[in-house]
Amino acid sequence: MRLSEYAKYDATGLASLVRTREVTALELTQLARQVHDEINPLINAVIEFYEDAETVAGADAGSFNGVPFLRKDTGATEAGRLQEHGSRLFKGCRSDTDSYFFRRAREAGLRTVGRTTIPELASTVMTESIVNGITGNPWDLKRSAGGSSGGAAAAVAAGITPIAHGSDGGGSIRIPASWCGLVGLNPSRGRVSGGPHNQDASSGLSREFVLCRTVRDMAAALDVFSGPHPGDPFIIVQPSLRYLEELTQPTGTLRVGVARTSWGAIDLDPEVLHAVEATATLLEGMGHTIIDIDPLYEPAEYSKFDSAPTTAIWLEEAARTLGRTISSDTLEPVNLKRYRYGRDLPLSQTWDVQEGLRRMRSRVGEAIHGFDILLTPTMPIVAVPHGGIYSAVNPEVSVKEYLEADTAICQYTGIFNVTGQPSVSLPLAQSSSGLPIGVQIVGRFGDEATLVRVARDLEDARPWHHRCPKVRAEGS
């Protein structure tokens, strides 16, 4: 198999080739390494391609038999592997625990061959850090791949692996999926276990999943990673069918709420609005009922939900354990300011945040209860140039400016981390300059099945597989 052929297959397709013995799992790992060696110097998406990648464990069966996989440098862990959270404070740290996520990955045949870049502490929408540098967008290297799962997205878009681990606490899967032209699902709260040590990450705001190129890979990954484990805070309703089986089921007629207006301080780019309107027209032509919806919350209210107090406690405990000091030598400018800000807040602030989240969940839930799905932009604008106000490396940005900027650019994503609903970014459009535009579909809580069927319908009606970024595996 040539590199260019390898890069054209999705994970399901590669697994099928292994199953029929047209290629071996070892050959796929070798191809992934070749693409990495060719492409990663350009995009800087992979921190570490494991030296022992050709011998990593993985089942000889399952949906993803033999497919190379990458791990984000935060969140779910692999025992014995480095996990540095993109930070000098955690340099050299290794996990002593296999998360349930990676146990399931191995059981499904995924071979984890390395780890990907993130912004320090997964804190911003741009994947750039002092310790690992800037991750470029394969569609335009001068622009951001997004964050915080930006390394994962850039690696998949460029063809290093067809699927990669990500996590999403405010848009961190969907943002890079939108800017890199990928499928990025943030599952319902509780759909994918964070165990054994992180079952309720960020008070339930953050979830683990993957970035991929096709809806069938998304469905197959749901089948692999879904399901409860002992110690989970609650058990979400389980699906009646496997998600791959949902790809063969009829969608039915849905009530679709459509967001055509800005929900934050950044105006909606006309080309992004056009992508949403074109998708609404497409859904209407499929027989669904389209109803416009107003913004669901006030940006000033959302920007108060900063995790700085709990992050400060985590950082202090980590620093004590590691025998290190929190300073400008170990944390980037914005994160150091957020640490000091969170450290100085009273403990009652944490209660205020939790109560505010509860009120917002209730209010937004009531407002959208009558809809089967929502259709929104994923991001209000296309991928931005590197640096600026969204970068934690920028010494000029204050905590207040950071929170306001983050709320503005994540105006369509973070709210559904609060409500716990599943939401997926689909690469349904491109700008006039050729940059990807993601459109977000939001489902009812616990109803990934409807998202799978709608995403399938949209992929069939408006396929994106022919679009390729400028930087992609082309070797012979």
* 11-19 and 25-43 helices, crossing angle to 10°: 150
Whether the CB-CB separation of 222 and 211 falls below 8 Å is answered with no
Exposed (0-12), middle (13-18) or buried (19+): which is 350, by Cβ within 10 Å?
middle
Catalytic pick among 123, 149, 167, 172: 172
Mark whether 262 is an active-site residue.
Answer: no
Catalytic pick among 72, 149, 226, 431: 72
Left, alpha or beta for 72 (phi > 0: left; psi -120 to 50: alpha)? beta
- Maximum distance among all alpha carbons in the chain? 61
Sign of the Cα torsion 338, 343, 345, 349 reads positive
Residue type for position 149: S
Residue 71's DSSP bridge partners are 115
Whether the CB-CB separation of 312 and 343 falls below 8 Å is answered with yes
Buried b (16+ CB within 10 A) or exposed e, 394-416: beebebeebbbbbbbbbbbbbbb
Residue 46 structure tokens: 């992979």
Catalytic pick among 99, 144, 148, 303: 148
DSSP 183-236: EEEEPPTTTB--TTT-TTHHHHT-EEEEEESSHHHHHHHHHHHBB--TT-S--P
d(CA 267, CA 461): 29
d(CA 360, CA 416): 10
Residue 352 structure tokens: 């205020």
Mark whether 129 is an active-site residue.
Answer: no
Which strands, in side-by-side order, build the sheet including 289-293?
163-168, 207-212, 183-186, 423-430, 436-443, 373-377, 255-259, 289-293
Mark whether 148 is an active-site residue.
Answer: yes
Give catalytic residues, as residue numbers: 72, 148, 172
